């Protein structure tokens, strides 16, 4: 009897859809990755791949529509409505990239190389183009060095970029989740 009940329970659990799988609610299109004029780190190509990877991890976000991107705004709006998605076009900006060689910590001989990268993510609604959301982030990493090597500096910049991008994308996703699914009613509340 217990065995039959256990088998029945197992069959019911297997028949249920996966609880962890969420249906995408948002379409996100990465329009551009820009570096500010004063940053000379050349991190744009790394940032593009990293941001796409971070956005793809979220189950409520899809990065492709399953069809070619329509050229006209009306066709895009129609496609998004048919798939029941809200669209956002994002621009990822690297706002700050600098490094410094600090004196050694007390009791140490090696100097400390610190790298700081700042980022911002701006989102516009698709197809209207109105500024909707933003996310900012900053990453700072350091290591002990005797002198600055190009390879080490590039590795630290990549690590700091990853920290900053994770923060920016996490704040963007948090803001996405907190947005209302429908606009507030126009009726005034009674007092």
d(C-alpha 126, C-alpha 69), whole Å: 12
Mean pLDDT of 23-52: 86
How many C-beta atoms surround the C-beta of residue 88 within 10 A?
Answer: 21
What's the pLDDT score for residue 54? 93
Q: What pTM did the predictor assign?
A: 0.76
d(C-alpha 55, C-alpha 184), whole Å: 28
CATH code at 26-177: 3.30.160.150
Residue range 128-159, pLDDT digits in tens: 878 888 888 889 998 888 888 888 889 999 99
In the chain, the N- to C-terminal Cα span, in Å, equals: 62
């Amino acid at each position: 009897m217990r065995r039959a009940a256990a088998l029945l329970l197992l069959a019911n659990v297997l028949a249920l859809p996966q609880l962890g799988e969420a249906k995408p609610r948002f379409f996100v299109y990465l329009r551009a990755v820009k570096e500010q004029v004063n940053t000379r780190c050349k991190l744009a190509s790394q940032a593009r791949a990293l941001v796409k990877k971070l956005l793809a991890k979220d189950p409520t976000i899809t990065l492709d529509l399953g069809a070619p991107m329509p050229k006209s705004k009306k066709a895009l709006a129609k496609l998004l409505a048919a798939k029941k998605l809200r669209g956002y076009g994002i621009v990822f900006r690297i706002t700050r990239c600098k490094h410094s060689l600090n004196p050694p910590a007390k009791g140490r001989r090696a100097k400390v190389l610190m790298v700081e990268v700042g980022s911002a993510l701006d989102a516009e609604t698709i197809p209207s183009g109105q500024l909707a959301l933003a996310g900012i982030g900053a990453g700072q990493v350091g290591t002990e060095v005797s002198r600055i090597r190009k390879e080490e500096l590039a590795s630290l910049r990549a690590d700091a970029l990853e920290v900053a991008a994770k923060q920016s994308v996490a704040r963007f996703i948090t803001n996405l989740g907190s947005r209302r699914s429908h606009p507030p009613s126009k009726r005034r509340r009674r007092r």
